[in-house]
Amino acid sequence: MSEELNVNFNVEDDYGASQIQVLEGLEAVRVRPGMYIGSTGARGLHHLVYEIVDNAIDEALAGYCSEIRVDILKDNIIEVSDNGRGIPTGIHPTEKISAATVVYTVLHAGGKFGGGGYKVAGGLHGVGASVVNALSEWLEFWVYDGKNVHHQKFNRGSYDKQIEIIGETDKTGTTVRFKADSEIFETTVYDYDILLQRLREQAFLNAGIKIVFSDLRDENDIKSETLYYEGGIRQFVEHMHNTRGLEPISDTVIYFSGIQDDMVCEIAMQYNDSYNELILSFANNIHTTDGGTHENAYKNSLTKVINEYGKKFGLLKEGDKLLGDDVREGLTAVVSVKLTNCEFEGQTKGRLGNPEVRPFVEKLVNEKLMNFLEENPSIARAIFDKSVNAQKAREAAKRARELTRRKSALESASLPGKLVDCSERDPEFTEIYIVEGDSAGGSAANGRDRRYQAILPLWGKMLNVEKAKLDRIYGNDKLQPVVTALGTGIGEDFDISKLRYGKVIIMADADVDGAHIRTLLLTFFFRFMRPLITNGNIYLAQPPLYKIHRGKNIRYAYSDEERDTFIAELSENGKYKADVQRYKGLGEMDSEQLWETTMDPKNRIMKRVELLDAVKADETFTILMGDKVAPRKNFIEKNAKYAVNIDI
C-alpha cells in the first residue's frame, strides 16, 4: 500500500466533524438548487455538465491537458474525462481530507485553488464540482496520477468511504461520472444538440483544446463529434456564416488580439451580404448575452475606425458620418476577453461590468483594426462601401418612416380598415387575433367576445423581412396594418408602452401554409419588435385537429392521442363508431366552433412564444427565411420530426 493511502486513513479522526460540515454545505445546495444552478429544469440539468467540463477546460488552459472526452452514457449518466495532471489526492492543508474529496464536497472549493488566475468567478458560473455532486443521485471519480488510480464514490453528496487506491496506472488525468438526481430535476434527459452547441462554443473559445463528445444512449444511433479548432474564434465566425448560409464579402476573417496587465482580448470579425448584425461576446468563456464593457468598447471603436479610415482616404465627405448601425450591417463578430476577476451585472448576470476593460479593448481595436484596413485596402474598401450602402438605406428608411408618420398623422392615426376592434381600451385585458385569410377572419370576428378581443385579418403575400431592405419595411402594405394596430412602432421607434393589446395571438391553419405565415410574422417580430417576444406578448393559437362526434356528443382533439381517446370514449363497445372529422383549416369551422375551440379563454389552448436563445433563434430565422437553399434543406431534413412545433 502506498504512503498516501496511509495518510488518508490517518484522517479518520477528523472524518466525523468534516463530514458533518460538508453535509450541511451540500444540503443547502439541495434545499435551494436554483440559487446555485439557476433552475431545476432542463437548463439547470445541462449546467451540471458545463460545471464539470469547465474544470477540465481550466486544466487545459493551465497548459496540462490537451483532450477532454464527454460521453452521455445509457440512462443519462454523464462521463467527463481529461488527460490533465489529475486532481491532487494528497491531504488538504486545512480540510485535513484528500484535496480531491474537498473539490467534490466543499462549496466553492474550486475558487480556493489556483492562484493560476484562470478560475472563472461570478454569476452562477463556476459554482464548482461540489454543487454537481450535491445534485447527483450518485457521483464517482477516478484520478490517474501516473502511478495509482484513486477512486471515490458519493451518494447525494455524502460518502461512507474515503478516497482509495484501486489500481496502478501510467497515465494521468481525471474521470468523473454522475447521474443527475431525479428528486431534484424536473427532467434528467440530456439534449444532444444543446450540449453540442455549448461544447463547440468552448472548443472555439479555447483554440487547440480537443473535445470529443459522444452520445452512447442508443446503441443503434450512436453520435459522436470531435470538436477541435486550431483557428479558435476565427473558425467560430466562419461556422456562424456556414450554418446560416451567409456569403462573406471577403475571404479573410479579420483577427486580432492583445494583452495588458492581467487582461487578454481576442476579436474575430467578417462581413456578409445580409442586413443583420451578430456580435457574440464572452468573458472568461461565458457568453455575455447582454454585452457589457468589452462589447461596447468594440462597437464604439469599430465605428470610430471605419469613419477615420473614410476620412483619411478621402472617401467620406467633410461633416458626413457613418453611424454604428451602418458599420455593423452584415457584421458577424466574436469578442472574447479573459480577466482575473469578472464582474457580471444585470438581472441575469449577462453583462460584463469591469470598467478597466473599456480603454483596453478600445485601444486594441483602434490600433489593430486600423492597421489591418491600411494593409488590406481591397477588404477595407469593401467594408467601407457596404457601410455607405447601409447609410443610404437607413436614410431612405428614415424618409419612408417620416412619410408613414406624416401620412398617419394626416389620417389622424387611423387604425387599419380591416381591423375589427374591441371596446375595452386597457391592454391588460385586450387581445388581438392576427388571422390568416378573410373567411377565417370573418368567423373570428363573429365568434369573438367583442369586449376585449380584436381581429385583424391578413391576406395576400406577407413580406419576408429577412430578404428586404429596411426602407421597404416602413410603410409596407402587408406589415403596416399589423404595426398600426399594435400601436408600438418598430425598430428604433418601438415603444412597448404604446402597445394596444396585451396578447398578440397569431391564428393560422395547422398546415404548411399556416406554418409559413407564422414564421413570416415571427421573423418580423423578432427583427423589428423583439421586446414583444422577450416580454411574452406573442402567442400562437392552437386550433383543434379533429372533431369527434356521436349523437349529441362532440369533442375536439388537439393531438392524435387525444383523438384516439375520444373515439374510444364515444364509441360504444366498438359497435357504433364515433364520427371523426379532420379540420384542414380554420375556414372549415363556423364562428361558434371557432370561439369554442380556439378563442374562448376557458377552453382554448395557446402557446406563448419564448426566446430561449437569441443566437440560436437568429440562426433559425436566417436559415428559414434567408436566400440560401442548401442550409434550409439541411435544417428541414434535420428537424422534420419536430415540424409540428418549431420553438424559437
- List residues with catalytic annotation: 436, 509, 511, 513
Give the burial class of 221: count Cβ atoms within 10 A of its Cβ; 0-12 exposed, 13-18 middle, 19 or more buried.
Answer: exposed
Residue type, 302: L
Please state the separation of Cα 568 from the chain's center in Å.
42
CB 85 → ligand 0RA: shortest distance, Å? 4
Q: Give the interface segment with ligand 0RA, choosing from 41-49, 86-94, 256-264, 357-365 (CB under 6 A).
A: 86-94
Which helix (H) or strand (E) segment holds residue 454: the answer is strand 453-458
| Residue of 15, 27, 96, 113 that binds ligand 0RA (CB under 6 A) | 113
Number of residues that bind ligand 0RA (CB under 6 A): 13
Question: Is residue 84 part of the contact set for ligand 0RA (CB under 6 A)?
Answer: yes
Q: For residues 481 and 456, is the Cβ–Cβ distance under 8 A?
A: yes
Minimum CB distance to ligand 0RA smaller for 86 or for 123? 86
The helix-helix angle for 357-375 and 377-410 (nearest 10°) equals 110
* Cα 537 from Cα 523, distance rounded (Å): 15
Residues in the chain: 648
Indicate the SS3 state at residue 363: helix
Question: Is residue 8 part of the contact set for ligand 0RA (CB under 6 A)?
Answer: no
* Cα 527 from Cα 522, distance rounded (Å): 8
Minimum CB distance to ligand 0RA smaller for 36 or for 144? 144
x/- track of binding to ligand 0RA for residues 166-205 (CB under 6 A): --------x-------------------------------
CB 432 → ligand 0RA: shortest distance, Å? 53
Minimum CB distance to ligand 0RA smaller for 89 or for 476? 89
HSE-CB of 98 using CA atoms within 13 angstroms: 24
* Cα 544 from Cα 557, distance rounded (Å): 6
* Cα 156 from Cα 139, distance rounded (Å): 8
CB 476 → ligand 0RA: shortest distance, Å? 55
CB 98 → ligand 0RA: shortest distance, Å? 12
x/- track of binding to ligand 0RA for residues 39-78 (CB under 6 A): ----------------xx--x-------------------
Which residues in the 505-524 window bind ligand 0RA by CB under 6 A? none
Q: Which of 198, 203, 204 is nearest to 234 (CA)?
A: 204
Which residues in the 479-508 window bind ligand 0RA by CB under 6 A? none
* Cα 126 from Cα 488, distance rounded (Å): 40
CB 170 → ligand 0RA: shortest distance, Å? 17
| Residue of 51, 82, 431, 618 that binds ligand 0RA (CB under 6 A) | 82
| Residue of 29, 49, 87, 422 that binds ligand 0RA (CB under 6 A) | 87
* Angle subtended at Cα 240 by Cα 236 and Cα 242, rounded to the nearest 5 degrees: 110
Q: Give the interface segment with ligand 0RA, choosing from 38-46, 84-92, 443-451, 595-603 (CB under 6 A).
A: 84-92
Question: Is residue 114 part of the contact set for ligand 0RA (CB under 6 A)?
Answer: yes
Q: What is the DSSP string of 252-303?
A: PPEEEEEEETTEEEEEEEEEBSSS--EEEEEETTEE-TT-BHHHHHHHHHHH
Question: Is residue 130 part of the contact set for ligand 0RA (CB under 6 A)?
Answer: no
Minimum CB distance to ligand 0RA smaller for 212 or for 279? 212
Minimum CB distance to ligand 0RA smaller for 115 or for 417? 115
Q: Which residues of 360-392 are buried (b: 16+ CB within 10 A; e: fewer)?
A: bbbebbbebbbebbeeeeebbeebbebbbebbe
Question: Is residue 88 part of the contact set for ligand 0RA (CB under 6 A)?
Answer: yes
Please state the separation of Cα 77 from the chain's center in Å.
24
Question: Is residue 116 part of the contact set for ligand 0RA (CB under 6 A)?
Answer: yes
CB 172 → ligand 0RA: shortest distance, Å? 9
The contact set with ligand 0RA (CB under 6 A) reads 55-56, 59, 82, 84-88, 113-114, 116, 174
